[in-house]
C-alpha cells in the first residue's frame, strides 16, 4: 500500500502548521518561500498520483489497516487525483499572487490557503460520507477566515451570510447522514451502493429523502439555483487571491453530486436510481438563466466574474443531469477549464481595479490605466476562454458537453440553455471590456505597476487554457477514464471492498 495517497491531504496540513512555527513564522519572506515550495511539492505529488491511478487503476488507502467497510478509507481514483492536481495548481497561483502584497493585509494567509487545500483534497479523496462532512468543515473553516482576510465592512457583511448559511447546510448534511446510517448501517460510499439494493419499499422512501437532502447540501456548496444567493456577493467581497481560490469550492459541491448520485444512486440502485436527475434538469437550466441575467446586470468586473461562475455551475449541472458516462467526462473537462479561467479573471479584475483609481473595477468612464495594453491582453484571453469561443479550452469543453446530449429533448434543452447563456456572457464581457479599456479620459499615471508575482500567477492560470487545447487528446482520455471509473460499479464499488469479494455471496 503506497503512502502517496494520503500525502495530498497531509502535506498541506503539515505545511500550514509549520508555517506557524518560529523559524518560518518570523519573516514574511520565509513564509512565502515555504508556502510556494509546499504547493509545488503538492503539484508533484498529485501529478504522480494521477499518473499512478490512471495507469494502475484506483488506489485504496486503509487508515489503520481496517477492512474497508469498517475503517476510514481514502480512494484515489483518476477523478479525485485529477481534481487534486487542479486544486494544487490553483493554490500555487493564489499563493504566488498574494506574495505581491495581499498577504500583508492580514495574518496567516498562507497557512489558511494550505488548510483550505487540505480540506478540498480531503473531500476529493475520502471514501466515506462522514469524512466528506469533516473535510467540508475543514475547508469551510479555512474559507471563513480567508473571507474576512484583509478586513472591511463588505467582507464582514458577506461573511456573516456565508457562515450562517453554511452552518445550516452542515446541519442538513448531518441529518442526511443520520438517516443514511440508520437505514443502511454504513457510511462507506461503496458499501452504501451495495446495501441500497436490499432495502424494503418503506426504507427506500427514507433513503430517498436522505439522498435528496444531500443534493440540497451539495447544491448549497455549489450554488445551484434557489441556493445561489450567497455566491455573487461573497465572491465579489473576498480579496482577489481568495476569490480565485474559492473558484474550486463550488466545484467541490459539483464533485460530490457526481460522486454520490452516480455511485450510490446510480444505475444499479433499483427504484432509487437517478433520484436527482428529476430535480437537476430544471435546476441546471434555471441556474444558467440566473447566471446569464446576473452577468448582464453586473455593475463591476468582480460581480460579473462571480456570475460567470454561476453560469459554469449551471453548465456542469447540465452535465450531471444528462447522467451518462460521456456527459460526465465532458463535464470534468469543462470543470478543469472553468475553474482555472474564472480564477484568472478574479485576479485580472484585481489588477485592473488597482490601476483605475477610485473607479476600481466598476463599469464607468475613468482615466486610462497605466498598463492598459498588458491588462487588456490578459482580459481578452481570459474572456475568450470564459465565453467558450475557439481557439481556447472553453470551446472544447462546451462542444464536448453539447455532443454528450444525445436524445432530442435533452439536446433541445441543454443546447439552447448553454448557448444562450454563452451569448449573454459574450455580450456582458465585451461590454465590460469596452468600458474598461476604451471609455477612458486622460492617462492615469498613479496606481500600482503590476508586480511580477501577480503576472506570474495570472499567466500560470491562463497558460493552462491553451495547454488544455493542445493536449486535449490526453486530457480527454483522462477525464473519460475518470467518468468510466465513476460509472462502472465493478470499479467504483466492488473494487473498493476487497474483503467482501473474497467471501462473495456471504454478504
Least Å distance, CB 310 to another protein, is: 21
Is residue 201 involved in binding another protein (CB under 8 A)? no
Distance between CA 64 and CA 42 in Å, rounded?
24
- Nearest Cα to Cα of residue 337 among 291, 385, 381: 385
Question: Which residue, 1 or 63, is less far from another protein as judged by CB?
Answer: 63
Question: Which residue, 130 or 380, is less far from another protein as judged by CB?
Answer: 130
How far apart, in Å, are the Cα atoms of 433 and each of 245, 300, 352, 442, 497?
24, 11, 11, 18, 53
Is residue 168 involved in binding another protein (CB under 8 A)? yes
Question: Which residue, 151 or 377, is less far from another protein as judged by CB?
Answer: 151
Task: Sketch the per residue contact string, 138 through 157, with another protein: x for CB under 8 A, - otherwise.
Answer: ---x--x---x---xx--xx
Q: How many residues bind another protein (CB under 8 A)?
A: 27
Question: Which residue, 133 or 413, is less far from another protein as judged by CB?
Answer: 133
* Residues composing the chain: 507
Contact 276, 263 (CB under 8 A): no
- Nearest Cα to Cα of residue 265 among 328, 204, 330: 204
Least Å distance, CB 154 to another protein, is: 9
**Cell digits of residue 465:** 487554457
Is residue 477 involved in binding another protein (CB under 8 A)? no
For another protein, which residue of 26, 105, 171, 416 counts as binding (CB under 8 A)?
A: 171
**Strands, E assignment, 372-496:** 440-443
Distance between CA 401 and CA 271 in Å, rounded?
28
Distance between CA 229 and CA 263 in Å, rounded?
29
Least Å distance, CB 183 to another protein, is: 8
Residue 324 phi/psi, 5° resolution? Answer: -95, 170
Is residue 63 involved in binding another protein (CB under 8 A)? no
Is residue 17 involved in binding another protein (CB under 8 A)? no
- Nearest Cα to Cα of residue 256 among 225, 284, 219: 219
Question: Which residue, 145 or 417, is less far from another protein as judged by CB?
Answer: 145
Instruction: Provide the CB-side half-sphere exposure for 244 (13 A, CA).
Output: 33
Is residue 164 involved in binding another protein (CB under 8 A)? yes
Is residue 159 involved in binding another protein (CB under 8 A)? yes
Is residue 160 involved in binding another protein (CB under 8 A)? yes
Is residue 496 involved in binding another protein (CB under 8 A)? no
How far apart, in Å, are the Cα atoms of 313 and each of 247, 263, 317, 326, 332?
10, 21, 6, 18, 12
Contact 429, 437 (CB under 8 A): no
Least Å distance, CB 84 to another protein, is: 23
Ranges within 105-134 binding another protein (CB under 8 A): 130, 134
Task: Sketch the per residue contact string, 381 through 400, with another protein: x for CB under 8 A, - otherwise.
Answer: --------------------
What are the b/e assignments for 350-366, b being 16+ CB within 10 Å? Answer: bbbbbbbeebbbbbeeb
Question: Which residue, 45 or 140, is less far from another protein as judged by CB?
Answer: 140
Question: Which residue, 157 or 416, is less far from another protein as judged by CB?
Answer: 157
For another protein, which residue of 6, 44, 174, 296 counts as binding (CB under 8 A)?
A: 174
Distance between CA 481 and CA 80 in Å, rounded?
12
Least Å distance, CB 170 to another protein, is: 7
Question: Which residue, 70 or 438, is less far from another protein as judged by CB?
Answer: 70
Question: Which residue, 187 or 352, is less far from another protein as judged by CB?
Answer: 187
Distance between CA 114 and CA 188 in Å, rounded?
27
For another protein, which residue of 2, 25, 170, 371 counts as binding (CB under 8 A)?
A: 170
Residues in touch with another protein (CB under 8 A): 130, 134, 137, 141, 144, 148, 152-153, 156-157, 159-161, 163-164, 167-168, 170-171, 174-175, 177-179, 181-182, 187
Amino acid at each position: 500500500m503506497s503512502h502517496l495517497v494520503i500525502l495530498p491531504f497531509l502535506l498541506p496540513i503539515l505545511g500550514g502548521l509549520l508555517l506557524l512555527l518560529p523559524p518560518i513564522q518570523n519573516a514574511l519572506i520565509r513564509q512565502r518561500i515555504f508556502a510556494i515550495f509546499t504547493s509545488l511539492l503538492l503539484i508533484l505529488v498529485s501529478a504522480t498520483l494521477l499518473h499512478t491511478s490512471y495507469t494502475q487503476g484506483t488506489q485504496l488507502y486503509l487508515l489503520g489497516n481496517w477492512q474497508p467497510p469498517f475503517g476510514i478509507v481514502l480512494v484515489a481514483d483518476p477523478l479525485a487525483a485529477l481534481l487534486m492536481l487542479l486544486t494544487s495548481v490553483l493554490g500555487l497561483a493564489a499563493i504566488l499572487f498574494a506574495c505581491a502584497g495581499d498577504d500583508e493585509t492580514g495574518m496567516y494567509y498562507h497557512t489558511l490557503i494550505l488548510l483550505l487545500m487540505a480540506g478540498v483534497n480531503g473531500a476529493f479523496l475520502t471514501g466515506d460520507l462522514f469524512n466528506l462532512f469533516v473535510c467540508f468543515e475543514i475547508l469551510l473553516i479555512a474559507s471563513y477566515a480567508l473571507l474576512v482576510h484583509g478586513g472591511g465592512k463588505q467582507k464582514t457583511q458577506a461573511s456573516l451570510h456565508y457562515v450562517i448559511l453554511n452552518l445550516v447546510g452542515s446541519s442538513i448534511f448531518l441529518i442526511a447522514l443520520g438517516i443514511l446510517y440508520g437505514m443502511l448501517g454504513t457510511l462507506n460510499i461503496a458499501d452504501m451502493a451495495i446495501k441500497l439494493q436490499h432495502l424494503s419499499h418503506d426504507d427506500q422512501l427514507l433513503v430517498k429523502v436522505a439522498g435528496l437532502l444531500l443534493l440540497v447540501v451539495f447544491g448549497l456548496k455549489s450554488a445551484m439555483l434557489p441556493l445561489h444567493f450567497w455566491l455573487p456577493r461573497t465572491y465579489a467581497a473576498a480579496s482577489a487571491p481568495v476569490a480565485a481560490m474559492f473558484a474550486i469550492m463550488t466545484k467541490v459541491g459539483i464533485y460530490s453530486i457526481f460522486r454520490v448520485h452516480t455511485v450510490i444512486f446510480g444505475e444499479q440502485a433499483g427504484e432509487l436510481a437517478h433520484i436527482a436527475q428529476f430535480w437537476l434538469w430544471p435546476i441546471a437550466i434555471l441556474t444558467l438563466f440566473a447566471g446569464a441575467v446576473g452577468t448582464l446586470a453586473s455593475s463591476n468586473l468582480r460581480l460579473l466574474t462571480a456570475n460567470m461562475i454561476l453560469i459554469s455551475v449551471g453548465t456542469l449541472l447540465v452535465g450531471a443531469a444528462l447522467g451518462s458516462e460521456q456527459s460526465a467526462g465532458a463535464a470534468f473537462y469543462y470543470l478543469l477549464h472553468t475553474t482555472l479561467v474564472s480564477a484568472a479573471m478574479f485576479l485580472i479584475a484585481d489588477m485592473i481595479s488597482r490601476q483605475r483609481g477610485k473607479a476600481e473595477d466598476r463599469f464607468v468612464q475613468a482615466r486610462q490605466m497605466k498598463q492598459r495594453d498588458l491588462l487588456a491582453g490578459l482580459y481578452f484571453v481570459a474572456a475568450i476562454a470564459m465565453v467558450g469561443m475557439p481557439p481556447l479550452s472553453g470551446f472544447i469543453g462546451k462542444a464536448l458537453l453539447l455532443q454528450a446530449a444525445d436524445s432530442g429533448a435533452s439536446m433541445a434543452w441543454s443546447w439552447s440553455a448553454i448557448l444562450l447563456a454563452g451569448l449573454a456572457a459574450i455580450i456582458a464581457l465585451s461590454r465590460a471590456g469596452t468600458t474598461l479599456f476604451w471609455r477612458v479620459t486622460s492617462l492615469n499615471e498613479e496606481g500600482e505597476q503590476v508586480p511580477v508575482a501577480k503576472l506570474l500567477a495570472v499567466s500560470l492560470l491562463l497558460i493552462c487554457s491553451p495547454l488544455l487545447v493542445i493536449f486535449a487528446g490526453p486530457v480527454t482520455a483522462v477525464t473519460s477514464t475518470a467518468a468510466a471509473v465513476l460509472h462502472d460499479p465493478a470499479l467504483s464499488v466492488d473494487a473498493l471492498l476487497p474483503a467482501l469479494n473474497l467471501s462473495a455471496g456471504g454478504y
